[in-house]
Amino acid sequence: MIDSKLRATIKGYLEGFIQGMVNEFRASGLSAKELRPPRESSKDGDIKPFHEAILPEGILRITEFERSFSTKLGSTFEEVAKLIGSVRFQTAERSYHVTGQVSRKAVRAIEAIVNRMNKGLKRTYPQLVEEILDVANEDGEERTRIADLYLRDSKAHEFFFEMKSPKPNKGQCLEATDRLLQIHAIRRAGPPKVRTYYAMAYNPYGLARATYKHSFAKQYMDMSNQVLIGKEFWDLVGGDRTYETVLEIYREVGREKGPDMIDQLALGY
């Protein structure tokens, strides 16, 4: 459950995140109605001479802000999930380092699995985990893998999440499976003690899991056992109706901060 104190904490974090980004995009020194002066070079490769010749600074700021905001918004999902998880779980951390000995057989087995997956997923994710655990009982190379989000409950059950795009490409699917299987190899354990997931903060196709249809994810990951989509993820972290409540908080911050964002970015106030 998200109580009033946690709700206020999440709101404060989101408001700070938004204002930090707004401040970054207000730093040009131009008024919102001015055109940007022509530039002969850019180390960032961001010159758009025709856009800059016809669109005033305020409009350019808004479009550039939206692109950057969309890229960085994913970090807020991780932080909000950590804040919620810290109430329900004994431990909740972002960018959690998992370090330990991985047997050479397990390393080779993971490489073989990922190579096979280039032609599509043929086995279930639990079967892949078992395949790794069968050869993970010996010492070998020291390895470290980083989980975007880590939760541990009072019974020492561990949950590791890759929190990435809801529309991953093929390479991202293979890399995520590689990292998740390596966590099992490092911990030398599977469910229920160690669970690993590819987590999508939302479903870009709708609310129901059945609506999800991104081809790469469906072809290269076990959607039933490896992937959590939207509500499934948030409710695992915080309990029933967490997804709806989180979305309400984001919307509340948007209602309250939206007019001010427009004033600062588009109008220069």
Q: What are the angstrom distances between the C-alpha of 182 and each of 63, 105, 107?
A: 40, 12, 8
Token pair in block for residue 83: 């804040």
Q: pLDDT value at position 139?
A: 86
H helix runs in the chain, sequence order: 4-25, 49-54, 57-88, 104-117, 125-133, 170-187, 215-220, 231-238, 242-265
> CB of 73 within 8 A of CB of 166?
no
Asked whether residue 28 carries a pLDDT value surpassing 70, the answer given is: no
The model's pLDDT over 158-187, given as tens digits with 9 standing for 90+, comes to 999 999 999 999 999 999 999 999 999 999
Mean pLDDT (the chain) is 92
Q: What's the mean pLDDT in 84-94?
A: 97
Secondary structure of 85-152 in the HEC alphabet?
A: HHHHCCEEEEEEEEEEEECHHHHHHHHHHHHHHCCCCCCCHHHHHHHHHCCCCCCCEEEEEEEEEEEE
Q: pLDDT value at position 59?
A: 84
Global pTM value: 0.89
Q: pLDDT value at position 260?
A: 85
Neighbours of 94 (CB within 10 A): 17
